[in-house]
Amino acid sequence: MTDPVRPAAPGADFNLAAHLLGGHESRAARPAFIDDRRSLSYGGLADEVRRLASALLGLGLRREERVLLLMHDCCEWPVAFLGALHAGIVPVAVNTLLTAEDYAYMLAHSRAQAVIVSAALLPVLEQAMAAGPHEVGSVVIAGGPFTPAPGREALADLLARHAPQAQAAPVGPDAPGFWLYSSGSTGRPKGTVHSHGNAWWTAQLYGIGVLGLRDSDVCFSAAKLYFAYGLGNALSFPLSVGATVVLMAERPTPDAVFRRWREHRVTVFYGAPTGFAGMLASPALPAREAVSLRLVSSAGEALPAELGERFSAHFGVDVIDGIGSTEMLHIFLSNRPGQVRYGSTGWPVPGYRIELRDDEGRPVPDGETGDLYIEGPSAALMYWGNREKSRETFQGAWTRSGDKYLRNPDGSYTYAGRSDDMLKVSGIYVSPFEVEATLVQHPAVLESAVIGVTDGDGLTRAKAFVVLKPGASVSDETLKAFVKERLAPYKYPRLIEFLDELPKTATGKIQRFRLREREAAGSA
């Protein structure tokens, strides 16, 4: 199918790394990335990427084999990601907030032949490697210090020993390029396989086509590079136009964000509603005149209208809210500069088509809620090794998002919840089933159910309803700490309420919708 909005696809020998490194000869001395330790110019980036490509091949990795990236946001992250792509090797970018058990699974599932890891994350990686069945050939450590051992080498030493690889692997736009892991409502994370061409499409259609990024921009993303949202914000979008990117390893607290805004005169900021709420509540909120923002993007969860309006009123810049997904790589439905309807997710990004369908797959009329389907050129190739879930999600040219929406008379779309029970807390998916399964491991807990509740800013928080065993006693803070010890810390329930019993069907299935109704009635 042709779409007059879409440009012609890249050529047969397209390599994403070569594309993003090319065309910057006049910008060789300009900063491409700035982190807390150093600045990496466009010329320096090209040199280090090509050296790493040679080094990975020198370690024995072959085309389309995987290398796991477990790294904090720093200048070495884009070097690692692009270096693998340049060599035709597939980087697998993973969340830095997970447990050793999670990483053991990802290593085995991806069959990664090497890992590039930040020195601060080496201990959890070593736990994962000791616990898992998969053997990794090489571990490359970014930063330091670390204790030398066989099979472990400093990234800086590796780069120094290898000459730049002059020619990028001629892979093509449809070749497997990189993986991102997507959470599921049940079971293990899904390895979402994206092609070399997919990041080109999102940069063309959204970064340039909607946001209008320029080479003079200084971009800063609160969402980290291992997220699909952050990968576009802080890598493929700015490199496509020759902009500068500020990277930050630490958590994006309001104070940390404000400091980067001021120090680096950030012009484009990418955040999430939870972060905007924290900024507006901070006593350190800078005045409009103290910052250089010209464009602000929001994604990760629906932006409450009041929050967007307050942020815009303070800084004099609209918040461009949109929705994307790991499966589509970036945003496909969005407000846009000069056309913002707060409380909605905006209009289809040119180059993408949107349909709302009922349970039988039929289109729903305006004003009625339906399941969101997307057709566009950046859809993932598959979930690795998971045919069942691949078929459920990738249906011909269309991708089923798992979100429910309704279409307004002006053509904009308004979020109406999830098609499953998944929660988005602070922009990250949380499976209620995973939290429930952890809670019931506590010796005092008989059963539990987890739902999302809305706080005073209109944002989602996880709440657990817990039934204790007869005669048992435990505090809510003890249960929160119990979950934090066993799952990634962001997954713990912020609220816990004890009940005598949970609402169930005649067959014993927990009725979470009854708990949601109970919450709605209590807050009315």
User: Which residues are within 8 A (CB) of 118 and not within 5 positions of it... i.e. 6 or more apart?
Assistant: 70, 71, 72, 74, 76, 96, 141, 142, 143, 249
Please provide the size of the chain in residues.
Answer: 524
Write down the residue that tokens 């045919």 correspond to. 387
Q: What is each CA distance from 328 to 259, 337, 399, 407, in whole angstroms?
A: 32, 22, 8, 20
DSSP string, 19-51: HHHTT-GGGTTSEEEE-SS-EEEHHHHHHHHHH
What confidence tier does 1 reach under pLDDT thresholds 50, 70, 90?
very low
DSSP string, 440-506: TTSTTEEEEEEEEEE-TTS-EEEEEEEEEPTT----HHHHHHHHHHHS-GGGS-SEEEE-S---B-T
pLDDT attached to residue 509? 61
- Residue 37 CA to its chain's centroid (Å): 24
pTM of the model: 0.86
Q: Could you read off the pLDDT of 291-335 as tens digits, one per residue?
A: 999 999 999 888 888 899 999 999 999 999 999 999 999 999 999
Cβ proximity of 405 and 399 under 8 Å: no
Q: Copy the structure tokens of residue 178.
A: 């990189």
DSSP string, 197-222: HHHHHHIIIIIITTS---TT-EEEES
Task: State yes or no: pLDDT of 253 exceeds 60.
Answer: yes
What confidence tier does 184 reach under pLDDT thresholds 50, 70, 90?
low
Q: Copy the structure tokens of residue 384.
A: 């690795």
Q: What is each CA distance from 455 to 55, 213, 277, 452, in whole angstroms?
A: 49, 34, 11, 10
Task: State yes or no: pLDDT of 506 exceeds 70.
Answer: no
Q: Could you read off the pLDDT of 66-93 as tens digits, one per residue?
A: 999 999 999 999 999 999 999 999 999 9
